[in-house]
């Protein structure tokens, strides 16, 4: 694709949908649209055709800062051997009863 064609493309938006009251919005995909209102309509038309949602968020994709896949080892692996961070690591004293 030429640089000019790239510039003329609509920006990308990430779509988050809440499936029912009380649940979180979940990321479900992305759409191309010229602005937020059009992105909202595109998200409705593409991702809620089968009653998947009751609320939609759209966020410009470039507003999201994402961790880099190559940082995975340094970011996440150090947590793997810190089992004492899980409550299940600890024995509950008998006197505490059921928690």
Nearer to other proteins, 26 or 35 (CB): 35
Give the number of C-alpha atoms closer than 13 A to the C-alpha of residue 46, restricted to the C-beta side: 19
Q: Token pair of 36, please?
A: 């937020």
Is 34 one of the binding residues for other proteins (CB under 8 A)? yes
Phi-psi group of 58: left, alpha or beta (phi > 0 → left; psi -120 to 50 → alpha; rest → beta): beta
Report in angstroms how near the CB of residue 46 gets to other proteins at its nearest: 5
Give yes or no for residue 55 binding other proteins (CB under 8 A): no
Which window, 33-41, 57-65, 76-84, 87-95, contacts other proteins (CB under 8 A)?
33-41
> Which residues lie across from 14 on neighbouring strands?
30, 59
Report how far residue 59's alpha carbon sits from residue 43's, in angstroms, rounded to the nearest whole number. 11
17 part of the interface to other proteins, by CB under 8 A: no
Is 45 a binding residue for other proteins by CB under 8 A? The answer is yes
For position 37 contacting other proteins by CB under 8 A, the verdict is yes
């Amino acid at each position: 694709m030429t640089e000019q064609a790239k510039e003329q493309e609509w920006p990308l938006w990430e779509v988050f949908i809440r499936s029912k009251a009380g649940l979180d919005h979940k990321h479900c995909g992305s759409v191309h649209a010229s602005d937020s209102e059009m992105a909202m309509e595109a998200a409705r038309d593409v991702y809620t055709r089968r009653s998947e949602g009751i609320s939609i968020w759209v966020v410009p994709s470039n507003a999201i800062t994402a961790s880099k896949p190559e940082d995975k080892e340094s970011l996440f692996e150090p947590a793997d051997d810190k089992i004492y961070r899980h409550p299940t690591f600890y024995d509950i004293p008998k006197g505490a009863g059921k928690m």
